[in-house]
Structure 1
Amino acid sequence: MRIFDPHLHASARTTDDYEDLHAAGVRAVLEPASWAGQPRTSAGSQVDYFEALLGWEPFRAAQYGIAHHCALGLNPREANEPGCAEVLDELPRFLGRDRVLAVGEVGYDAMTPAEDVAFARQVELAAAHRLPVLVHTPHRDKALGVRRSIDVVRESGIDPEWVVLDQLDEETAPLAADAGCWLGFTVYPEAKLSPARLVGLVAEYGPERVLVGSAADWGRTDPLLTRVAAGALLAAGHSPAEVEGVLWDNPVRCYGRSGRLRLEVAEVPDRHAGNSIRRG
């Protein structure tokens, strides 16, 4: 079974993780721009980070048979850093680059005025560049954050079919469904959703507009939980075709509209002696 993880912070993972992902059937990932635990403090550091998501990480992933893509944006956590706000002026020149499938993660963390400004502006950029938007929903006051996110989407005029409201739960999924957005679910070892809860949500809302990711950042996460989720869906009675529809066809359909999806992976190059990966 092929899996496309539409939300995986691959830069936080090791080469062993890439090997395990490939063995589990993962053949493509989308890495949204995020924060690094310690917030960046300047537009320059954001630009360097974007370049790494466009250059080094696809090169590294390809050596393990995985097609790496990214979403670029000023994430809500760092939207509150005055020095980072300038990256919004730099962002347009990146949004036309190869392998950029979306604008994201954008949205809310603490729902501050600075986050309002960054969110609205980046949705406008997404619409102008004909790119989907990957929206981070806050960990605190999630329902309020989802409602405010939907308001931003409506005010922008972007088609909600081009919007992914991510990290939803049982309380917020109906809000996203009613708004006509894609439903993004994140499967975690402890927080967010368990595979069993995901099965219940797919049963309630159907498999057609659902995206399932692992996030797999630098916290306690597991990049293989998309494969565990696939097993849970199969055990619940979904056919292999239905499960691959959720875990492969849906992200291809959602993010393929960017026109930049490249699922082929070049042959793994030889590695320099003594190194676990080939250097550029």
Structure 2
Amino acid sequence: MKDKMMIIDPHIHMTSRTTDDYEAMSEAGIVAIIEPSFWLGQPRTQVGSFQDYYSSLVGWEPFRASQFGIKHYCTIGLNSKEANNEALAEQVMELLPLYLHKENVVAIGEIGYDDQTPAEDKYFREQLELAKELNMTVQVHTPHRDKKAGTIRSMEVCMEHKLDPGNVIIDHNNEETVKDVLDKGFIAAFTIYPKTKMGNERMVEVVRKYGSSNIIVDSSADWGVSDPLAVPKTAALMLKRGIDRKDVIKTCYQNALDAFSKNGKMKESDWLNPKGINQSILYNDNSVLRGQEPRVDADQIN
């Protein structure tokens, strides 16, 4: 256990995952995660569904993660796909400030472009202004179609709004976009998927070519075909392929910690000096155990 590398997955959608995933993630060395608010696979049709979803990201999910020794943080925002329903988007924008001050919210995100429509542009800009007003980090979703143009446009808009590039994480990068992102001073995050976006073999070569500064590895594991262990697997492959351990630590742990801890809510001490696990406690009278014997660490016994 001493030699196990600590891992942060700074982009994973645990709302879509099971408790088995939490168990496996903990065993693989994941000590902290960041869960961005995102599209759930079908459109939400009323503001109350956003409110319940955001509430779960600051309530139920942190509890569920804690039951397996993982510290849970999140980012809150109106995602690009749902920005196109403008009547609903206006209501969501009024809702956001109620959640951005919650204790585990470390950034506004994931926001940006999907089809690069005028509505997406409007609400992306409004949320960038909100980030400036609240001095918050921004997590940007870059479009899956027309990737390079959309990534460049995302950065240009951030600069138009005078955001510090060092406080903006540009996610879903690939080999085509990474140089532009790094050259402009933004933080480049890479989503490791089994079949699409970035594979872990390709990620190894990106780190070999560009080094480890301002590069973050994440899984973005969600309701689709994806892998909640993508970050520890990529870390292991980097080491196997001869990437220096210090560079693996930076890309799979330290850079994420540095990027998302700027508002003071994400603290390394949360997992370096953790409270023990007590699976006998409940959240709104609910347990994740379904009748299993609860784990109660020694420091949790009264």
What band does the TM-score fall into relative to the shorter chain? Answer: over 0.9
Identify which range, 240-249 or 12-21, moves more after superposition.
Answer: 240-249
Q: Distance in 2 between matches of 1:66 and 1:242?
A: 23
Equivalence for 1:14: 18
Q: Distance in 1 between matches of 2:162 and 2:46?
A: 30
1:139 paired to 2:144: yes
* CA contact 2:10–2:35 (8 Å) conserved in 1: yes
Identify which range, 264-273 or 113-122, moves more after superposition.
Answer: 264-273
Q: Which runs of 4+ in 1 moved over 4 A?
A: none
Q: Percent of counterpart pairs with the same letter?
A: 42
Displacement of 1:276 in angstroms is: 5.8
* CA contact 1:43–1:85 (8 Å) conserved in 2: no
The 5-angstrom pairing of residues 34-73 of structure 1 reads: 34-73=38-77
Q: Gaps (5+ residues) in structure 1?
A: none
Q: Which amino acid counterpart does residue 111 of structure 1 have in structure 2?
A: Q
Larger radius of gyration: 2
Tell me which of the two structures has the higher relative contact order, counting C-alpha pairs closer than 8 angstroms and 6 or more residues apart: 1
Q: Distance in 2 between matches of 1:101 and 1:181?
A: 17
Q: 2:181 aligns with which of 170, 176, 181?
A: 176
Displacement of 1:157 in angstroms is: 0.3
Q: Distance in 1 between matches of 2:64 and 2:255?
A: 25
Q: Which amino acid counterpart does residue 222 of structure 2 have in structure 1?
A: D
Q: 1:105 aligns with which of 110, 126, 130?
A: 110
Q: Distance in 1 between matches of 2:237 and 2:120?
A: 36
Q: Distance in 1 between matches of 2:194 and 2:152?
A: 27
Q: Distance in 2 between matches of 1:243 and 1:277?
A: 37
TM-score, normalization: structure 1?
Answer: 0.95
Q: 2:206 aligns with which of 196, 201, 210?
A: 201
Q: 1:186 aligns with which of 177, 187, 191?
A: 191
What's the secondary structure of 1:243's corresponding residue? helix
* CA contact 1:72–1:95 (8 Å) conserved in 2: yes
1:256 paired to 2:265: no
1:267 paired to 2:271: no
Q: 2:222 aligns with which of 198, 217, 221?
A: 217
Q: Distance in 1 between matches of 2:53 and 2:266?
A: 21
Displacement of 1:196 in angstroms is: 1.1
What's the secondary structure of 1:257's corresponding residue? coil
What's the secondary structure of 1:196's corresponding residue? helix
What's the secondary structure of 2:136's corresponding residue? coil
Q: Distance in 1 between matches of 2:214 and 2:241?
A: 19
Q: Which amino acid counterpart does residue 22 of structure 1 have in structure 2?
A: S
Cα distance 1:196–1:114, how it changes in 2: closer, same or farther (>3 A)?
A: same
* CA contact 2:211–2:247 (8 Å) conserved in 1: no
CA offsets per residue over residues 149-189 of structure 1, 9 Å max, x none?
01111110010001111000111111211221000101110
Q: Which amino acid counterpart does residue 78 of structure 2 have in structure 1?
A: L
* CA contact 1:199–1:232 (8 Å) conserved in 2: yes
What's the secondary structure of 2:262's corresponding residue? helix
* CA contact 1:212–1:226 (8 Å) conserved in 2: yes
Q: Distance in 2 between matches of 1:46 and 1:131?
A: 21
* CA contact 1:63–1:277 (8 Å) conserved in 2: no
The 5-angstrom pairing of residues 84-103 of structure 1 reads: 84-103=89-108
What's the secondary structure of 2:107's corresponding residue? strand
Displacement of 1:239 in angstroms is: 2.8
The 5-angstrom pairing of residues 162-173 of structure 1 reads: 162-173=167-178
Cα distance 1:277–1:112, how it changes in 2: closer, same or farther (>3 A)?
A: farther
Equivalence for 2:298: none
* CA contact 2:82–2:89 (8 Å) conserved in 1: yes
* CA contact 1:96–1:129 (8 Å) conserved in 2: no
Cα distance 1:146–1:270, how it changes in 2: closer, same or farther (>3 A)?
A: closer
What's the secondary structure of 1:61's corresponding residue? helix
Q: Distance in 1 between matches of 2:65 and 2:205?
A: 32
**Count of paired positions:** 278
Equivalence for 2:284: none
Q: Distance in 1 between matches of 2:162 and 2:290?
A: 53
TM-score, normalization: structure 2?
Answer: 0.88
Cα distance 1:276–1:124, how it changes in 2: closer, same or farther (>3 A)?
A: farther
Q: Distance in 2 between matches of 1:11 and 1:63?
A: 15
